[in-house]
Amino acid sequence: MAPVGPRSGEAIFASVERVNAELFTLTYGAIVRQLLTDLEEVEEVNKQLDQMGYNIGIRLIDEFLAKSNVSRCVDFKETAEVIAKVGFKMFLGVTASVTNWDAEGTCCNIVLEDNPLVDFVELPDTCQGLYYCNILSGVIRGALEMVSMKTEVTWVRDMLRGDDVFELQVKLLKQVPEEYPYKDDE
């Protein structure tokens, strides 16, 4: 049997190089602020943040796999647990919990009680439609796509909108089978 990967990102988080949390938070804030100025529409900013997250996710997955030594997950349930317990810890220093599984095991919610992205943030009235942390949903979508899982990630609860936690819904749309990539045999 392949060795079972870590069930917590604690050790990896301790061993990787980190940046100052405030610098990180403020930099992210500056990016969102700039996007709001450039794109003007809140909807467009949400879209752009998601796309940025996606681009991060498709690279981040390799770093995650290389450093975490996580082996293949048996099912989507395990995948979600690994994201919440190892992934979030490794990259953001917080852990999340997985709740609300549907009967088929293809849809769950990831609950973040602590979110370093939103320290010092208050949404002004003009930005009520903004999903400030939309980059995170993009990251998850991108990373999972690289391990052949098409997913849809949406925000269910958002502390900046008055909820008590951050909650992401992750829905597995389909798993893409591995196919022989060359079509023609010349």
Partner 1 sequence: MQFFGGSEISPSPPAPTAAGNNAHMMYVFNRNGVCLLYREWNRPLWTLNAQQDHKLMFGLLFSLKSLTAKMDPTSAEKGNLGVPQLPGQGCSFHGFRTNTYKLSFMETPSGIKIILVTHPKTGDLRESLKYIYNLYVEYVVKNPLYTPGSPVRSDLFNTTLDQYVRGIG
Q: Does 148 bind partner 1 (CB under 8 A)?
A: yes
CA angle 140–95–69, rounded 5-degree value: 65
Residues 69-88 that bind partner 1 (CB under 8 A): 70-74
Q: How far is the CB of 61 from partner 1 (least distance, A)?
A: 5
Distance between start and end Cα atoms, the chain: 39
Give the integer Cα–Cα distance in Å for 143 and 111.
18
> Looking at 41-49, 57-65, 110-118, 155-163, which segment touches partner 1 (CB under 8 A)?
57-65
**122 contributes a contact to partner 1 by CB under 8 A:** no
Tell the smallest beta-carbon distance from residue 29 to partner 1 (Å): 19
Q: How far is the CB of 135 from partner 1 (least distance, A)?
A: 16
Torsion of the alpha carbons at 32, 34, 37 and 41, rounded to the nearest 10: -30
Crossing angle for the helix pair 42-68 and 134-146, to the nearest 10 degrees: 50
Q: Which is nearer to partner 1, 41 or 62 (CB)?
A: 62
- H/E run at residue 138: helix 134-146
In three-state secondary structure terms, 157 is strand
Interactions with partner 1, residue window 162-181 (CB under 8 A): 175-181
Q: Which residue of 6, 31, 67, 157 would you call a contact of partner 1, by CB under 8 A?
A: 67
The residue range among 43-51, 95-103, 123-131, 142-150 that interacts with partner 1, by the rule CB under 8 A, is 142-150
The residue type of 153 is V
Give the residue, chosen from 146, 161, 169, 171, that forms a contact with partner 1 under the rule CB under 8 A: 146
Closer to partner 1 by CB, 22 or 113: give it. Answer: 22
What's the DSSP call for residue 5? P
Q: Which residue has the tokens 């052949």?
A: 148
Nearer to partner 1, 46 or 151 (CB): 151
Sheet holding 97-99, edge to edge: 97-99, 107-112, 166-175, 149-157
Give residues in contact with partner 1 (CB under 8 A).
Answer: 15-17, 19, 58-59, 61-63, 65-67, 70-74, 146-148, 175-182
